[in-house]
Every structure is written in structure tokens, then in C-alpha cells.
Structure 1
Amino acid sequence: MTALLRTDPAAGTLRLVCLPHAGGGASSFARWAGLLPPWIALVRVQLPGREDLAGRPAFRDVPEAVSALLPHLGGPPVALYGHSMGAVLAFELARALTGHGTPPVYLFVSGRRAPHLAATRPPIHELPDERFADELEAVGAGPGRSPVFRRYALPLIRADLRLSEDHRHVPGPPLPCPLTVFHGLHDPIVSATEAGAWRRHTAGAFALRAFPGDHFFHHRHRAALAAAMTRALE
């Protein structure tokens, strides 16, 4: 399997590696360019099955994704940020890096309940296409009505949600790095309690920041998130 890391031009001494939500690609973070200071290099993860890797099969599970991404993360210090499905990947990457003796300097997540919590919503990735699309529309992630785009988007989102919904947390020690969780106040998928429960997964500093918006609040508030990450990393 192949994944690519898009490093935007910067002489950064620290890399902020950003992992997208289900169905998202590296372009999800394209508008982050210019929001970070020069000492932070923005690294946008391109997972297989989308955009310029559309011809590659999507990852089947989290361990496969972590194994593919981990070799790319050696070198300069790394901070990780993931939204929704990307939060799962960022957390497991942080655990893997820690196990290799090179923990990230910081973990940022959004749009996902704490890893140890069971889902409160039934899985949707095996639903028939129309019901699947309706469920996505209900949380603001619908693929629209274009038949051409649906033929591309629905299988990809379904594969990503299978990866996310089937993942089972394995208990382990808390991460040594600080952890900040960003939460949408009107997120229909993640409650404030579920977001705050991430606290148990770090032995370092913890912060929970809430923003107006639904599950995809991070798009609207990207500048505020980037500023908060910069302050945390200084």
C-alpha cells in the first residue's frame, strides 16, 4: 500500500502532519498553507484511494495504515493532527512512534470520541448506497446528488468508515506527549463528554477547546485551530 506526504514549502524545524477525515484527501488541508509560522512545516497526508492516488486501494484497517505511514515520519520532530477518522490514525501513529522511542512532540485531534469509548451510533458502512448517502447527509458529509461523483465518493467513504468503525482500541499506557482536543459544539457525532474523555490518554498536558459548528467545524475555524496549535508548539 502507498501513502504520500505532501510537505508544503517551509524551512520548518518541526513538522505538523495532518490526517484527513473519512473520504478526505490531502486537499482537505490545502487552505492551511500560510496559517502556520515558517518554523512549522505543514505535511498533508494523502491516503490511497483518493485524489492523485485514486487508483490505489484504500487501507483496509488502522494497523495497515499505520505501518504504511510510520516509515515516513522519521527525521525532524513531528506533531500530529487528525480529524474524525484522521484522529484515530493520528492517535495510533502517536502510540507507534512512542513505542519506537520517538514520540511526537504533540498530538492534536478533533471530531472523534476518545479511543476507549464504545460507539453510541450504529455503524453505517455496510448500509445500501441510498441509506448510506442519507446517513452521510444527516451529519453534513453527503456526497451530493451527482451520479458521477457518487460513484467515486461512496466507495471511498465506505472504505474509510469501515476502517474507522471496525477499529477496536487496545488498552495501553498514556502517551507522554501533550494532547489537545478540538470539539464542535453542535457535532451530532461526538459529545463534549466523549471529547473530554481523551484526557486519560496523555500523561502530559491536556486541553479541550470548543468551537461553534457541526462535525466539520474544523474547516470553518482552520485559522483559529492553526493559531492554537502554534501557541501550543511554541
Structure 2
Amino acid sequence: MTHEDPWLRRFQPAPEAPVRLVCLPHAGGSASFYFPVARALAPAMDVLAVQYPGRQDRRHEPGITRLDELADRITEALLPWADRPLALFGHSMGGLLGYEVAARLEDAGKAPAALFASARRAPSRHREESVHLRSDAGVIAELKLLDGTDSGMLMDEELLEMILPALRSDYEAIETYRHRPRPPLSTPLVVLTGDDDPQVTADEAQAWSAHTSVDFSLHTFKGGHFYLTRHQNEVLDIIRRTVVKECVAQPVG
């Protein structure tokens, strides 16, 4: 199957895999963040990485500043790939997007086999934040706090000029999002978090349990917001185990 779509990247095609893993990046992130995941999981899983507008090969497109619109567009792009079970993995902003995409897929009769929400508090746990309204220096300070960006990049004015617009649009999408009460998902939910993440407390991570009516599990790792760069193998093992349990047995269609 071949689909030409600016929203999705397929770095390591695995057309015979019984399940597709859809990876959603963090704020300011790009599809290439998940290249190592695609390489590690093929051929057991066909990994699709989402590419938001405003970065890399889509850098000339304006960013989308409303998370609901992002979720609508991503869901539209994924439906042609739903000929087999889809699992969703989202980090930070991607975790919140994964939740909204999962709800839309359920509404379309294509409930995901699993949702992995990483480094993001539950959708119902709102914080008042305004990073997108800060000066450039203020946005950069936030990046340093989360420790997810190469320090050399933060000193490169030309690179910063390229990534700051996408960062602002992503932060605006996150910070203007308001959860609308809805019935819990019927999708199994796996939450992953770092024990020193300034963006997610233990209580905010546990609160995800109210957002599914089926299986829920919480995994806490040593580290901050980008704990997964130090624990990639453990995270991949959790994905594999969950897929074996929840995804492969799910009927297609």
C-alpha cells in the first residue's frame, strides 16, 4: 500500500507487519525524532511518524495553532492506513494529540489497539501556561528547562530562527487546548513518565486512568521530560509487550 501524504513519514516500511504504530512528536519536534523507533521495531511493526507543518520539509507551511484542528487533520491522514490495527505513541504534545486522535478514530469505527501517552499530564488536568506569548529568550528558557534540545542548537541563531515559529505554534496549540468532557476511551492506555519531569506530576500522570474504560498501566522512569532518550530500550519493550497483548489479536476493519 502506498499513500502520498505530507503528514506521514514511513522510514522503515514493514508492509507485512500485523500492526501499525503511529508516532506523534513533541512541541517543536519532527517525524525524524522517531527514525530510531522505526528501525528498531521493523519488521514486527510498520511505523508511521507524523510530520506537523512548519518544520523540516514542511517549514514553509504555517503552523497550526489549534490542537483540535491538528487532531482532525492527522486523523484524516491516518484513516487510509487503518486496514490493520493502529497503535498510537505520543510524546509530550504528541501524547495529548494521541488522545484526541484516538477519540476521533473511535468515532470513525477504527478504535486504536492501544494509546501510549508519554511525558504528558492527563487531558483533564489543565495548567495555565503562556510560553507561546513569551519573547524568544523566554521560549528558549523553556527549552533549556525541559532539556530536550541540543545546547549547541540553542546557541545557533540561524537554526533558532527556523525552529521558533513552529515552537510557538505548537505551544499555542497546547496552551489554548481545553478538554471537553466525554466518555472514557475504549482504547487500552499506557502512560509513561519521568520522575523528575517539571511538566507532569505523579498525580497528573495517574489521572490518565479516568480516560479509558479498559486496560490502564503507568510506567515511571528515572529522568525528566525527555526520560525516553535514556530509556529507549525499556520503552520499546513496553510497546512490544503491549502490542502482543492488545494489538495483534484485534480484528482488522
Indicate whether 1:165 and 2:169 are aligned. Answer: no
Task: State the partner residue of 1:66.
Answer: 71
Letter in 1 for 2:214: G
Shift of 1:223: 1.9
Contact persistence 1:35–1:223 (CA under 8 A): no
Aligned with residue 96 of structure 1, among 87, 91, 104? 104
Contact in 2 for aligned 1:3/1:68 (Cα 8 Å): no
Q: Name which of 114, 120, 124 aligns with 2:122.
A: 114
What secondary structure sits across from 1:176 in the alignment?
A: coil
Matched, 1:178 2:204: no
Q: Distance in 2 between matches of 1:15 and 1:208?
A: 22
Q: What TM-score, normalized to structure 2? A: 0.87
1:5 to 4, 8, 19: 8
Aligned-pair identity (%): 38
Residue of structure 2 in register with 1:86 after alignment: 94
Q: Kindly provide the CA deviation profile for residues 8-43 of structure 1, in whole angstroms up to 9, marking residues without a partner as x.
A: 221212100000000000111111133225231111
1:138 offset after TM fit, Å? 1.9
Q: Which residue of 2 aligns with 1:52?
A: 57
Q: Distance in 2 between matches of 1:217 and 1:185?
A: 9
Gap runs ≥5 in structure 2: 245-253
Query: Alignment length, in residue pairs?
Result: 232
Match of 1:40 in 2: 45
Mapped to 1, the partners of 2:243 and 2:148 lie a distance apart of: 31
The aligned runs of 1:84-233 (5 Å cut-off) are 84-119=92-127, 122-141=129-148, 144-233=154-243
Contact 1:22-1:160 at 8 Å conserved across structures: yes
Equivalent residue for 1:27, pick from 24, 32, 38? 32
Partner-residue secondary structure (3-state), 1:34: helix
**In 2, Cα distance between equivalents of 1:3 and 1:65:** 13
The alpha carbon displacement at 1:184 in A equals 0.5
How far apart are 1:139 and its partner, in Å? Answer: 2.1
SS in 2 for 1:228: helix
Higher mean displacement: 38-47 or 181-190: 38-47
| Superimposed CA distance per residue, residues 170-223 of structure 1 (whole angstroms, 9 cap, x where no aligned partner) | 000001111000011111111111111100000111000011111011222222
Question: Gaps spanning 5+ residues in structure 1: where?
Answer: none
Q: Residues of 2 paired with 1:3 and 1:19: CA distance?
A: 14
User: In 2, are the aligned partners of 1:94 and 1:107 still within 8 Å (CA)?
Assistant: yes
Contact 1:35 1:227 in 2 (8 A): no
Does the 8 A contact of 1:3 with 1:69 survive in 2?
Answer: no
Query: Cα gap change, 1:122/1:73 in structure 2, threshold over 3 Å: closer, same or farther?
Result: closer
Check whether the contact 1:66–1:93 (CA below 8 A) recurs between aligned residues. yes
Aligned alpha-carbon RMSD (Å): 1.5
Shift of 1:3: 4.2
Question: Which shows bigger deviation, 9-18 or 142-151?
Answer: 142-151
